[in-house]
């Protein structure tokens, strides 16, 4: 038993890889102290700062604090690892490993801060909606985050002696092979970028893709765009369809057109036709539901003599672009036209034919 105790003390003093286990335990204790300090720091200091920031009316400080929340919680761990490795008397091999570890953690800390800083910057960029669309800003944020992640990972790998150049070269050859079999993917990607740059439509717009789909845009993705039809069914449309087909954006309309032809009976007199035409035009011109003739075309004219009717053309624009409101305005106009026709003792024509039978004597 005495020999076992001597052996145990010898191992304890010599430690592992020549490191005294007393120092190892103290280093571990130091690290746990900083882990505890991290928890205390997050509960007391960060939460206190959050409560103060929420009282301000400016949202940018909320975005910055929310972005830095993770890196700030990670910072005590970086300091704890550094102090622990500095306290322990390491040999040359382990000292080099500890140095790379500390450099890697600091590099991760820096790139994490930069990565999270993009979110509050994107919040500011979204205020430039008149210059850049929100979807284009979101795409740019994703690409920028990806580049920062790649650069940060490459920097960490270089610290450990892993050369990134040959890896990138291999990926380049692989990307060429993939590109040959993924032409549709790149075609959709380029089409999606053009959609955002040209501002053809945005999320929430009501569009119609000729011979494909009509509905409301919900999300513009890298490869496809999600459109919700009016029966609530979602449709994923590949982006190249927007370049190869006509796209009508109803949400960009300034006003909605009403284009009718009203047929009156042939028994309607000259004076009746003129009075009916003038009263309809007067109603449209005086109503606030229609665009004035100085801004958009407004016509109420006798158009032609059809087979069974005298046709009056009604061409005007409603001030609203909301479909439901437009239908209501059309309804009121139809009721008013019927009332005007009836008040003037005229009638609407309908398709009819007259048959004349000759009587042979």
- Tell me the three-class secondary structure of 231-299, residue by residue: CCCEEEEECCHHHHCCEEEHHHCCCEEEEEEEEECCCCCHHHHHHHHHHHHHHHHHCCCECCCCCCCCE
Which whole number is the average pLDDT over 301-321?
91
All domains of the chain in start order, with CATH: 11-171 (no CATH), 187-251 (2.30.30.60), 256-343 (3.30.70.100)
pLDDT in tens, 195-209: 766 677 888 888 888
* Neighbour order of strands in the sheet with 256-264: 256-264, 310-318, 299-305
Report CA 94 to chain centroid distance, whole Å.
49
Q: What is the pLDDT of residue 301?
A: 93
pLDDT at 285 > cutoff 80: yes
DSSP classification of residue 41: I
pLDDT (tens digit, 9 = 90+) per residue, 99-151?
A: 888 888 888 888 888 888 887 777 666 665 555 566 667 777 777 888 888 88
Q: What is the mean pLDDT of residues 16-44?
A: 70
Residue 300 has pLDDT above 80, yes or no: yes
Q: Report d(CA 315, CA 300) in Å as an integer.
A: 6
Using a 10 angstrom Cβ sphere, with 0-12 exposed, 13-18 middle and 19 or more buried, the burial of residue 307 is exposed
**DSSP state, residue 182:** -
pLDDT of residue 134: 67
**What percent of the chain has pLDDT above 70?**
72
Position with higher pLDDT, 76 vs 339 = 339
- pLDDT value at position 175? 58
pTM of this prediction?
Answer: 0.46
Of 156-160, 279-283, 311-315, the poorest mean pLDDT is in 156-160
* Neighbour-count burial of 321, counting CB atoms closer than 10 A to its CB (0-12 exposed, 13-18 middle, 19+ buried): middle
For the chain, the 3-state helix, strand and coil shares in percent, each to the nearest 5, are 60, 15, 25
Residue 178 has pLDDT above 60, yes or no: no
Per-residue model confidence as pLDDT tens digits over 80-101? 888 877 777 766 767 777 888 8
Average pLDDT over residues 275-285: 93
pLDDT of residue 358: 75
Predicted pLDDT of residue 182? 57
């Amino acid at each position: 038993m005495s020999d076992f105790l001597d052996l145990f003390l010898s191992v304890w003093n010599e430690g592992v890889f020549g490191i005294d286990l007393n120092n190892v335990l103290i280093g571990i204790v130091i690290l746990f102290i900083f882990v505890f300090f991290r928890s205390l720091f997050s509960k007391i200091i960060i939460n206190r700062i959050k409560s103060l920031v929420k009282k301000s009316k400016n949202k940018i400080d909320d975005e910055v604090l929310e972005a830095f929340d993770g890196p700030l919680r990670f910072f005590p761990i970086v300091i704890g690892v550094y102090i622990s490795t500095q306290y322990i008397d390491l040999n040359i091999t382990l000292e080099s490993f500890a140095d790379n570890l500390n450099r890697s953690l600091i590099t991760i800390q820096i790139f994490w801060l930069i990565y999270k800083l993009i979110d509050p910057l994107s919040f500011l960029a979204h205020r430039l909606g008149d210059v850049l669309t929100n979807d284009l800003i979101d795409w740019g944020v994703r690409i920028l985050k990806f580049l920062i992640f790649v650069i940060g990972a490459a920097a960490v790998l270089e610290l450990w002696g892993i050369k990134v150049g040959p890896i990138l070269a291999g990926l380049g050859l692989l990307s060429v092979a993939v590109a040959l079999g993924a032409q549709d993917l790149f075609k959709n990607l380029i089409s999606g970028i053009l959609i955002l740059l040209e501002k053809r439509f945005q999320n929430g717009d009501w569009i119609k893709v000729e011979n494909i789909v009509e509905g409301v845009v919900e999300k513009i993705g890298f490869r496809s765009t999600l459109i919700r039809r009016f029966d609530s069914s979602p449709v994923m449309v590949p982006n190249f369809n927007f370049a190869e087909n006509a796209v009508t954006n109803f949400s960009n309309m300034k006003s909605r057109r009403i284009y009718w032809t009203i047929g009156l009976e042939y028994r309607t007199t000259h004076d009746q036709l003129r009075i009916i035409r003038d009263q309809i035009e007067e109603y449209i011109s005086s109503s606030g539901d229609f665009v004035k003739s100085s801004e958009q075309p407004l016509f109420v004219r006798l158009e032609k003599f059809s087979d069974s009717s005298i046709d009056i053309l009604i061409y005007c624009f409603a001030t609203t672009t909301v479909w439901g409101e437009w239908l209501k305005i059309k309804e009121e106009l139809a009721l008013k036209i019927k009332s005007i026709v009836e008040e003037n003792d005229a009638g609407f024509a309908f398709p009819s034919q007259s048959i004349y039978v000759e009587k042979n004597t």
